[in-house]
Amino acid sequence: MPVLGINITDVRINKSSTVSPTGQIEVKLTPKIKELRLGEIRLPTGKTNGIEVLFSYNIQYTPAIAEGSIEGLLMYLPPQKENLDEILDQWEKEKRLDPFMFAEVVNFITKEVSPMLMLLAKEMRLPYHIPIPRVEVKSQ
């Protein structure tokens, strides 16, 4: 697994209204890669270089009842170590990632951040960002 760990550095959620709106509420999640830089991590086998990925994960409700963001960084080790400089050079020139790396990083961030968003939504009495399974009784 190329992603070794995640470090959350900032969590903010602001609730705009105390009145619950009626009707449909939409929740928009926006992951964003802010920066890539060379990083180093200590493993049992010694120090190894990797890529530190600085990210933000924004959540926005429509109508505007709340908004928030989670920021942090994670350590990414490319499958081939010789690709390390190539990935960083491409980021410096074009601010773009390989689609496979982007998908892997965003999926990892989403997996780590979703439980935190669920807890924050529960504590602040906001709708969840993913649907919760419900049991329905069917009449025969």
**Per-residue pLDDT tens digits for 125-139:** 888 888 888 888 988
**96-120 average pLDDT score:** 91
Measured CA to CA, the distance from residue 90 to residue 124 in angstroms comes to 41
**Please, which residues bridge with residue 46 across strands?**
43
Cβ-based neighbour number of residue 117 at 10 Å = 22
* 23 DSSP 8-state letter: S
* 7 DSSP 8-state letter: E
Quick one: pLDDT band at residue 22, thresholds 50, 70, 90? confident
| Whole-number pLDDT of residue 16 | 86
Say whether the peptide bond before residue 63 is cis (omega within 30 degrees of 0): yes
| Single-letter code of the amino acid located at 24 | Q
| Whole-number pLDDT of residue 70 | 95
Quick one: pLDDT band at residue 93, thresholds 50, 70, 90? very high
| Whole-number pLDDT of residue 117 | 92
Check pLDDT > 80 for residue 116.
Answer: yes
Task: Check the CA dihedral 42-45-51-53 and report its sign.
Answer: negative
Quick one: pLDDT band at residue 1, thresholds 50, 70, 90? low
- The pTM of this model reads 0.84
